[in-house]
Every structure is written in structure tokens, then in C-alpha cells.
Amino acid sequence: MKTKYTMALTLLAGVAIGAIAVQGLHAQGAKLKAYAIAEEEPLDTSALNPSLPGIREAILQHHGKSLRTLGGRVVQIEGSAPPKIVALIEWDSVDDALAFYKSDAWKASQPQRDKAFKVIRRYVVETEK
């Protein structure tokens, strides 16, 4: 009888240790989300219209999601005056964001972007674990 309890407890302990190990392995491989932020001043936003669908497609191909904030209000809370436009893109990882910004699609859209916006600042922020 005592042997049955010992075997049952050993089996339960093994299952618990296995579950903890699997959870730990999943956590090690998980990439952290990242957000690209661009603060811009509009120059001639109509200049960007022809290349915008291609840019959005390239964002999707690089595991990004445009939060479509180009036309949204920017409201100052603290600090210096905010930019007129803030673009936000959610990425699966910083590596995906950097791959997009080094892509041919992004480089090809440079002339239109230069006509459409003056970039104040562009950066990528990684979330915490």
C-alpha cells in the first residue's frame, strides 16, 4: 500500500517538474513586442499617397501592425509642444522592426516620405518581460 502512494507522489512530482520546465523553455524563446514611434511634421501628405499601400504591405510582411495614427489627434500632456503627427507601429520584435527599416520597400519610399513629412524623431521601443 505504501509503495502505491510513493509511486503516485513520484508520478505527480515528475509531472509538476515537467510542466515547470516546459513553461521555462517557452519563456526563453519568447520575443518581446516592440513599438516604432515616428514624430513628424507634415509638408505635403498627398505626396505619400501613392506609396502608402506598398509601405503598409511591407509592414505586414515584416510582422508589423500599423496602428494608423497618422490622422489622429496628438494631445500634449507634459513637456514641450508635441509634433503634428505621430506614427505608431506594433512589431513582434525589435529585430522585425529593424528588418523593415532596412528593407527595399522602405528605402524605395524615401523620396515620397521626404516630400510628405519632416521627421523630427523615429525610434523603436521594446516592451519589458
How do residues 36-81 score in pLDDT, each as one tens digit? 999 999 999 888 888 889 999 999 999 999 999 988 999 999 999 9
Alpha-carbon 22 to chain mean position: 26
- The DSSP line for 25-57 is HHHHHPPPPEEEEEEEEES-GGGGTTTHHHHHH
C-alpha cell at 41: 511634421
Q: What is the pLDDT of residues 114-125, one digit of tens each?
A: 999 999 999 999
- The answer to whether the predicted template modeling score (pTM) of the entire model surpasses 0.75 is no
CA distance 102 to 59: 12
Is 90 exceeded by the pLDDT of residue 31? no
Coil vs helix vs strand at 15: helix
Non-local (6+) Cβ contacts of 64 within 8 A are: 36, 89, 90, 91, 92, 96, 97, 100
